[in-house]
Structure 1
Amino acid sequence: MENEQRAVRSLFGPIFIGSFLNGILYGVLAVQTYFYYQNSSRDARWIKFLVLFVLIAETLSSILDFAVIWEPLMENYGSPTIFQTTPTTFSADPLVTAAISTTVQLFQGWRIRKLTKLNFVFGSIALTAFVSLAAGLTTTILIALHTGWSQLQMFESGFLVWLIASAMCDVVIAVSLTWFVLRNKTPFTSTNSILNRIMLLTLQTGTITAVAAIADVFTFTISEDKTLEFVWAYSLSKLYSNSLLSMLNARVEWNKLLDPPNVQTQSDVSFFHVEVFHHTENPLMRYDTSDQKPATVVYPPF
C-alpha cells in the first residue's frame, strides 16, 4: 500500500502541481481578457477575435489537463492500469500548447514586421514558430499511438525540437523588439519612458516563456522522474497567453502617460491605432511638435 502511494505521488504529483499552476494562470488570463475587452474599442476586429481564440483554446487546454489527473485518480484509482497506460487526454497537451504559442508568436512577429519592415526577422519568427507547431503535432500523434508510461522516452526528439524551437522564437522576438526600442530613442522624456517600458515588458515576457521551455527540456532530459517536466509543461501555454494580454493591456497606461487627461493635444491617436508615419531618422514614427508639447508616438498594436 505504501509503495502504491509512493508510486502515485511520483507519477501524478508533478502533473497535479502543473495542473494547479495551470488553473491559477487561467484565472489571471480570464481577468486580463475581461480588462482587454473593456478597453479594446479601437482595436481591429481580428485582434479581438484573436484574443477570443486564445481564451477558448486555453479553456480547452485547462479542461484537458485536469482530465489527465481526474481519470487515474478519480475514475480508475486502485487499478494497476494507471501505472501502465497514460490517461486518454494526455496526448493532447503538446498540440494545444504549440498551437497557442505559435499563434502568440506569429502575432508578435506581425507587429515586429509592421514596426521594422524587416521581412527576414518575421521570416525567422514564423519559421521557428511553425517548426515548434509541427513538432508539437508530431509529439501528440506519437503519444496517442504509444500509450504506455514506459514509452515516453520514445518521443524525446519531437519533444526537444518543439520546446527548443519555441524558446528560440521567443529569443528572436525579444531581441528584435529590444533592438527597435533602443534604435528609436527620442528627444522626449515621456516617449522614452514608454519605449523603456515596452523594452522591459518585452524582455520580461520573452524571458519567462523561454526559461519555462528550457526548464521543461532540462527536466525531461536529466530527471529520472517520468513526469517531472509537466510542472512546467502544463503552465507553458498560459505563460504565452498572459504575455500577449499583458502587452495589449499595458497600452492603456502607456497612452495615459503620453496623452494625460489634463493635457490638450492636437492628436487623438494612441497605441490602439495602427498607422505608418514618416520621420527624418526613422520612417516608422512621427512626432507632433507643432506646439512644443510632448509627442504622441503611434505604433502597431502592442
Structure 2
Amino acid sequence: MATGPPDVRLLFGPMLLGVFLNMILYGILIVQMLSYFKMYRNDSLYMKLFVGYLLVVETANTALDMHIMYEPLILNFGLPDTIKRFPTLFVTEPLIIVLVSTPIQLFFAWRIYKVTRSYWVPAVIFLFSITALAGGVWTTAKLGIIQLFSRKPELHTPALLWFLSASVADICITVALVVSLTRRKTGFERTDSVIDKIIRMSVQTGAVTAFFAVADVIFFMALPRTALNFIWDLALSKLYSNCLLSTLNARETLVNHPSLGSSNGNVNCNISASGPRRHTESFMPPRAPNCYELDTHVVKAREGSLVDDLEYGVTVTKVVEQLEEPAPKRSQW
C-alpha cells in the first residue's frame, strides 16, 4: 500500500520551534555571560577560558541551527528531496551538544569532589558523561551516514546511549549536591537558609536539563517517523550553558544574602580564606550570632575578600563564642 509524502508540519515544524527556542536561550545566555564577565573579573583564568569556550561553541551552534532551517525552507524550497533528507548541517547538532554538556558535567563532578572529598560519586558522573560523549559522537557519525528521514529509527541505539547516559549523569549531579549540602547544615537558621537556597537552585538547574533529555528520548522512541523530539533536542546545549552560568552568577546573590548580615544591615562576621587552610578572623561585634566561615580558593567578593564558589563549594563551620568569667573584684579593705 502506497504511502503519501511526509507531513512537512511534523518534520520541519518541530525543528523550526526548536531553533526558535535555541535562539531565545542564546539571548539569555549572552546576558548571563555579560553579567559574569562584569561581576567576576577576578575568577581564575581556567574558569574564564571555560566560559569563553562555551560562548564560542554556542555562537557557532546558533549560526548552524539558523542555516539548518534556512536550507530546506529557503534554499531548497519546493525541491522533491528536501522533505526526504536531513538538512546538510544537521549532522553538527549532536556533536555540539556533547561538546557543551560533557565539559559542564565534568565541571560539576569536580565541584562535587571539592565538597564531598569523595572520589566514587564524581567517578560515576565521569563514567556516564564520557559514555554520553561517546553516544553523541556515534550519533553524529550515524547521522552522516543515513541522511534520510525514513532511516531515522536507525539512530535509536546511539541516541539512547547518549541521552540516557546524560540523564543519569544529570540526576547523579543533582542528588549528590542535595545530599552533601544537606549534611552540612549547622542548625543556625540564617546559615541553613543559605544552604536551602543552594539546594533549591541545584534541584532546579539539574531537573531542567534532565527533563529535556528524557523528553527527547520519549519523543524519539514513541514517534520515530516525526521530528517532534527536535523541539527538545535543538535547545539542549543552551540549557546546559544557561544552567552553568546561572549557578556562577548566583554567587553574588548568595554573598549578599541576609544571612551574612545582621538585621540592621551590618556585617556580623568577616568571611575570609587564604588558600587551602581554613581559619576564622575577627568577628564583629564580639557576640555576633550565626557567623560562619566559607572554605574557598579563588573567587573575589565585595571589599576584596575571597570567598568560595558558593554554589558548590560551601562548607559551614559552627562558631562557638567562649565567654570567660570576670575576675573577682579586689576588696577595698
Unaligned stretches of 5+ in structure 1? Answer: 279-285
Return the TM-score normalized by structure 2.
Answer: 0.81
Deviation (angstroms), 1:64:
1.4
Of 54-63 and 186-195, the range deviating more from structure 2: 186-195
Q: Secondary structure, in 3 states, of the residue corresponding to 2:234? A: helix
Q: For residues 125 and 224 of structure 1, do their structure 2 counterparts lie closer, same or farther at Cα, with a shift above 3 Å needed?
A: closer
Aligned to 2:193: 193
Aligned length: 290
Instruction: Measure, in 2, the Cα distance between the counterparts of 1:274 and 1:161.
Output: 41
Aligned to 1:91: 91
Aligned to 1:156: 156
Instruction: Measure, in 2, the Cα distance between the counterparts of 1:274 and 1:214.
Output: 41
Report Cα offsets for 1:166-201 as digits up to 9, x if no partner. 000011100110011110001433321111011000
The amino acid across from 1:217 in the alignment is V
Q: Is 1:14–1:231's contact at 8 Å kept on the other side of the alignment?
A: yes
Instruction: Measure, in 1, the Cα distance between the counterparts of 2:282 and 2:140.
Output: 52
Deviation (angstroms), 1:276:
5.2
Q: In the TM superposition, what are the counterparts of 1:89-128 in structure 2 within 5 Å?
A: 89-128=89-128
Of all paired residues, the percent bearing the same amino acid is 33
Q: For residues 126 and 8 of structure 1, do their structure 2 counterparts lie closer, same or farther at Cα, with a shift above 3 Å needed?
A: same
Q: In the TM superposition, what are the counterparts of 1:285-296 in structure 2 within 5 Å?
A: 291-293=286-288, 294-296=291-293
Higher helix proportion (structure 1 or 2): 1
Q: Is 1:289–1:295's contact at 8 Å kept on the other side of the alignment?
A: no
Max Rg structure? 2
Return the TM-score normalized by structure 1.
Answer: 0.89
Q: Is 2:271–2:292's contact at 8 Å kept on the other side of the alignment?
A: no
Aligned to 1:21: 21
Residue in structure 2 matching 1:263, options 263, 266, 290: 266
The amino acid across from 1:249 in the alignment is N
Aligned to 1:297: 294
Report Cα offsets for 1:194-220 as digits up to 9, x if no partner. 110110000001111111100000000
Instruction: Measure, in 1, the Cα distance between the counterparts of 2:108 and 2:277.
Output: 18
Aligned to 1:283: none
For CA contacts below 8 A with separation 6 or more, give which structure has more relative contact order. Answer: 1
Aligned-residue CA RMSD in angstroms?
2.3
Instruction: Measure, in 1, the Cα distance between the counterparts of 2:147 and 2:138.
Output: 14
Instruction: Measure, in 2, the Cα distance between the counterparts of 1:119 and 1:154.
Output: 37
Aligned to 1:143: 143
Instruction: Measure, in 1, the Cα distance between the counterparts of 2:275 and 2:172.
Output: 23
Q: Is 1:287–1:296's contact at 8 Å kept on the other side of the alignment?
A: no
Unaligned stretches of 5+ in structure 2? Answer: 297-307, 312-333
Deviation (angstroms), 1:265:
5.7
